[in-house]
Amino acid sequence: MRMLAGQKFFERAEVKDLLAYLQLADNPDYNPAFVRIVNVPPRSMGDKSIAELELIGQRKGLSCWAVAEKMCAGQLSGNDTRSTNKLRKVLPPFIKVMKTIRDMANGGCTVPDLIRRIIELVHYEAYLHKNHSDSESRWENVQELINFAEEIADPEAEYVPQPAKPTPKTELVLNDDGSFSEAIEEDDSGATRWTSSLSTDTETADEESEEDKARVTVSTCHAAKGLEWPVVFIPSTEQGTFPFYRTDSVTEERRLLYVACTRAQAFLHLSHAESRMVGGSSTNKECSEFVAPLVKENKFAQAPPVVDQGVLRLIGSLLGRPVPPDQDIKDKISS
């Protein structure tokens, strides 16, 4: 699969944040997750404070989580009295959140409900709105993460809390800008396996494919301008998507769908859902106002055509390509 002008879903910051909360709840000794979310949303934990926890952990052979817990319990101190007092002030709310999430997990809470509770406890939606101009789009990604978790939820494979694991082997690296980064062995915690399976199932690209191997191209409507393909599929041609529910210009949305439709050189397939999962709940959907009148006028076939020799010759003439032999077609289908 080839994606045009797109960012992989599991590489988005908001998705990484929430998955890191799950990872840390599953294995408190997983330092990369701790470092990512201890200051998300902001908790007055700058790079210097985080680096201090990491360095103390290095000296004591402890994870960042263990250092934070011991420091708040008065069993460890920072580099000086001022930094110690600051950390003992800002860390307890974060520790309380993580313990709450872990207790829920121990009680058998499902991953979708864990994500919802994390969002509620850390006020993640408000954080997005306050700190990001594209907060609506980011919030939609959060909802989609919940949807995805709901879809793959299996009573036989719910979140299973893991016993505490030894502190992963880490090595602090001082970057050119003065910040710290970690070289760390990969964690194999339950939540990590869960998130890895998600990204593997949905994001894996066929890196070993030859350049000339047929691939499906996934594109946004905007990125498709000026391009054409023999067959084009446009999903979600429904109200709320075409036109988009937050649009300021229905006319522009209509034009955008027209651009997408005219990318097809031979076959154009439009589809829409009768119901769709939104934030883990099913919502009824209607066909797009741009498409529904054309459907009523029978402008669209309800089923794809039977591809016989006549259709093949027509496609060949449209594309300027010779009609392939029957055996080649059978071989492609069987492969």
Q: CB count, 10 Å around CB of 108?
A: 11
Question: In this predicted structure, what is the pLDDT of residue 233?
Answer: 94
Structure tokens at 289: 């106002």
> CA-CA distance, 260 to 287, in Å (whole number)?
17
Structure tokens at 174: 């001082």
Q: How far is CA 281 from CA 182, 250, 286, in A?
A: 39, 27, 16
* pLDDT in single tens digits along all 335 residues of the chain: 666 655 677 888 999 999 999 999 999 999 999 999 999 999 988 888 899 899 999 999 999 999 999 989 888 887 788 888 888 999 999 999 999 999 999 998 999 999 999 999 999 999 999 999 888 889 988 988 888 888 776 544 444 444 444 444 444 444 444 444 444 444 444 454 555 545 444 444 444 444 545 678 888 887 787 788 889 999 999 998 899 888 888 998 999 899 999 999 888 999 999 888 776 778 899 999 999 998 888 888 888 778 888 888 888 888 888 888 888 888 887 77
Q: Residue holding tokens 């990369």?
A: 32
Collapsed DSSP state (helix, strand, coil) of residue 232: strand
Report residue 100 CA to chain centroid gap: 24
Residues 6+ apart with CB under 8 A from 49: 83, 86, 87, 90
Question: In this predicted structure, what is the pLDDT of residue 1?
Answer: 62
- 6-11-12-14 Cα dihedral, nearest 10 degrees: 160
> CA-CA distance, 43 to 248, in Å (whole number)?
36
Please give the angle made by the CA atoms of 35, 36 and 38, to the nearest 5 degrees.
Answer: 65
β-partners of residue 140 are none
At what angle are helices 13-26 and 190-203 packed, to 10 degrees?
A: 150
Question: In this predicted structure, what is the pLDDT of residue 150?
Answer: 81
> CA-CA distance, 319 to 300, in Å (whole number)?
21
Question: In this predicted structure, what is the pLDDT of residue 167?
Answer: 42
Determine contact, residues 96/260, Cβ cutoff 8 Å. no
> CA-CA distance, 182 to 178, in Å (whole number)?
13
